[in-house]
Amino acid sequence: MAERGAWWREGIFYQIYPRSFQDSDCDGVGDLTGIIHRLPHLLTLGVDAIWLSPIFTSPMADFGYDIADYTGIDPLYGTMEDFDALVKAAHDGGLKVILDLVPNHTSDQHPWFLQARHARDDPHRDWYIWRDPAPDGGPPNNWLSEFGGGAWAFDSKTAQYYYHAFLAQQPDLNWRNPQVRAAIYNVMRFWLRKGVDGFRVDVIWHLIKDAQFRDNPANPDYHGGRPPHEQILSRYSADRPEVHEVVAEMRAVIDEFDDRVLIGEIYLPVERLMTYYGKDLTGAHLPFNFALLSAPWHAREIEAIIADYEAALPPGAWPNWVLGNHDRPRVASRVGPDQPRVAAMLLLTLRGTPTLYYGDEIGMHQVEIAPGEVRDPFERNVPGIGVGRDGCRTPMQWSALPQAGFTQAVPWLPVADDFTHENVVNLSADRRSILNLYRALIRMRKTHRALVTGRYRPVAAQGDLLLYRREDDGEVITVALNLGDEPVAIATEGRGLDGEILLSTWLDRDGERIDGTLDLRGNEGVVIGKAI
Ligand code: GLC
Ligand code: MG
């Protein structure tokens, strides 16, 4: 059962993309010691847990999502001593540490795969997914790789194809094989014993594929400009019923230890997403809710997304919300230049665990990457339609020093042009900056229980206005967000909007009493508190 008061229900999560957070050894790539140096920023911000994208031994074909040793730290990021030091420093500061578990596939350089491809009768052969060619010698079925092209790579030495949902350098493990399960569960135990507080599980809905490898159906809604793998629906290659048994087993491993969390990366429609809480909530504690990542930024659409999500939650399941990650365009660029503060207020006042993406707290935007400088394998394979993920992975902007204080070398991705102004030092000093808004929102969430545990109640509104309440026994909090640039005036009569402004997105209305009319400027959000 989901425990009341658990840290992963009450806390705020922060995703670090380690390559881009802070370099400490002048190689242009962020590392673990760099993260340790920057923990004070996170403590001032007030977050409760950090999730690190993969830091394990990897050839970096997909920047760490291709793992060659699940229990080794890649030298680019440091050593196991550095890792232990990071966990200790984080814990000393009261921060939990969540690692990225990538169980769906390994690197093609992982010893398991090197052995598996060695011979058909190798004991590791069945750890991966091998099929004979179709009668015409082509791939066994029509499944496509998410990163472009077919999902089957021919291995000439053993004359069979292996399956890769992502790059050919990321062969999928065979999760129907009990030895694979046992091996990954032991990887989990290794890190849990070291004191990590849980895992974000990469593409958890992909783990089990159709036993008969049936062809996927065509996607009738496909249109040009979308990634080519969307031409077929992944009916048989992902979200298979048997995956829930695996998720429950992972949860059982998590439950061997006290107070740890299991988070699942899942891009599925809301009804499917809910199944990952598991039967009687024995699945993931938090199946990531990515609905806002692709939401059209309109009040009515967001209102409907929240309503659908709240309505679909199984009894006792704890919600969560995500506004940005290392795979999707930066929120500041998705919502337009005037709305990032409103988006921040939304994320931090909704019911459920919020996950922030590094840099969003200083309003970092999607950076244009010149074609010759593209690093992301997805963009390299499928160029020109805007799938590139480099632009949301650029170095954290710490200061006006060269390379934004991220590195003293040439950074692996360019630093955004606006860094001399948009950086942590500068925005800290500016009382009304977005960074200080994030800090204030986080403080407010911690001091007003209704924002954490209170019920969510929509309030009818029109146009660009999004209105809702968070209520518990002692307090009612009203959130009013103006998603448009025109001012709006709302009569409070009969709507119970009276009270005192706790926070405005422009940080200049604290303490104002609302009585009769609530006036919002364009692009403004306010939080109104009232004791009951
Ligand atoms: C997940 C990761 C993404 C990675 C992919 C393959 O979606 O978030 O960055 O490329 O899995 O591992
Ligand atoms: Mg480095």
Q: How far is the CA of 428 from the centre of ligand 2 (A)?
A: 25
At position 66, the amino acid (one-letter code) is D
Residue with CA nearest ligand 1 atom 7:
203
Atom of ligand 1 nearest to the CA of 65: 12
Q: How far apart are CA 344 and CA 350, in angstroms?
A: 10
Q: How far apart are CA 183 and CA 204, in angstroms?
A: 16
pLDDT value for 90: 98
C-beta of 291 in contact with ligand 1 (< 6 A) = no
The number of the ligand 1 atom at minimal distance from the alpha carbon of 327 is 9
The CA 114 to ligand 2 mean position distance, Å, reads 29
What contacts 204, CB < 8 A, 6 or more positions away?
103, 104, 243, 247, 264, 265, 266, 276, 284
Q: Ligand 2: distance of its center to the CA of 532 in Å?
A: 52
376 within ligand 1 shell (Cβ under 6 A): no
Tokens for 71? Answer: 């229990």
Residue-by-residue DSSP string for 63-99: TTSS-SEEEEE-TTT--HHHHHHHHHHHHHTT-EEEE
379 lines ligand 1 (CB under 6 A): no
Q: Does the beta carbon of 82 lie inside 6 Å of ligand 1? A: no
261 has which bridge partners? 198
Q: Which residue puts its alpha carbon closest to atom 4 of ligand 1?
A: 65
How many angstroms separate the alpha carbon of residue 478 from the centre of ligand 1?
Answer: 37
The pair phi, psi for residue 22, each rounded to 5°, is: -160, 125
Catalytic residues: 202, 256
Residue appearing with tokens 């994030």: 438
Ligand 1 binding pocket includes 197 (Cβ within 6 Å): no
Residue 529: strand, helix, or coil: strand
Take atom 2 of ligand 1 and give the residue whose Cα is closest: 202
Show the domains of the chain with their CATH numbers.
7-105+178-441 (3.20.20.80), 111-163 (3.90.400.10), 455-531 (2.60.40.1180)
| Bridge-based pairing state of the strands 96-101 and 49-52 | parallel
d(CA 408, ligand 2 centre) in Å: 10
Q: Are 394 and 20 in contact (CB under 8 A)?
A: yes
Please state the atom number of ligand 1 nearest to the C-alpha of residue 378.
10
- Closest-CA residue to 200 (of 37, 297, 305, 322): 322
Q: Scanning the structure block, which residue is given the tokens 């990032």?
A: 340
The two tokens of residue 168 are 């050919």
Secondary structure of 199-242 as H, E, C letters: EEECCHHHCCCCCCCCCCCECCCCCCCCCHHHHECCCCCCCCCC
Q: What pLDDT was estimated at residue 1?
A: 42
> What is the Cα–Cα distance from 261 to 191, expressed in whole angstroms?
13
Mean pLDDT (10-residue bins), the chain, 532 residues: 80 99 98 99 98 99 98 98 98 98 99 98 98 98 98 98 98 99 99 98 98 98 95 98 98 98 98 98 98 98 98 98 98 97 98 98 97 96 96 98 98 98 98 98 97 96 97 94 97 86 97 94 97 82
Question: Looking at ligand 1, which atom is closest to the CA of residue 66?
Answer: 12
Q: Is 485 left (phi over 0), alpha (psi -120 to 50) or beta?
A: alpha
Q: How far is the CA of 327 from the centre of ligand 1 (A)?
A: 7
* CA–CA separation, 173 and 481 (whole Å): 45
User: Could you tell me if the CB of 288 is within 6 A of ligand 1?
Assistant: no
Distance CA 460, CA 308 (A): 15
Q: Rounded to an integer, what distance in angstroms lies between the CA atom of residue 404 and that of residue 420?
A: 7
Instruction: Please give the distance, rounded to the nearest whole angstrom, from the Cα atom of residue 32 to the centre of ligand 2.
Output: 8
Please count the CA atoms within 13 angstroms of the CA of 294 that sit on its side-chain side: 8
Q: Is 84 in the pocket of ligand 1 (CB under 6 A)?
A: no
Q: Is 62 in the pocket of ligand 1 (CB under 6 A)?
A: yes
Instruction: Note the ligand closest to the C-alpha atom of 67.
Output: 1
Chain Cα centroid distance, residue 168 = 24
Ligand 1: residue whose CA is nearest its atom 12? 65
- Helix axis angle for 434-447 and 340-349, nearest 10°, is 10
Distance between CA 265 and CA 276 in Å, rounded? 10
DSSP per residue, 245-284 = HHHHHHHHHHHTSTT-EEEE-----HHHHHGGG-GGG-S-
Instruction: Kindly state if the Cβ of 147 falls inside 6 Å of ligand 1.
Output: no
For residues 51 and 42, is the Cβ–Cβ distance under 8 A? no
* Euclidean distance between CA atoms 464 and 68, whole angstroms: 49
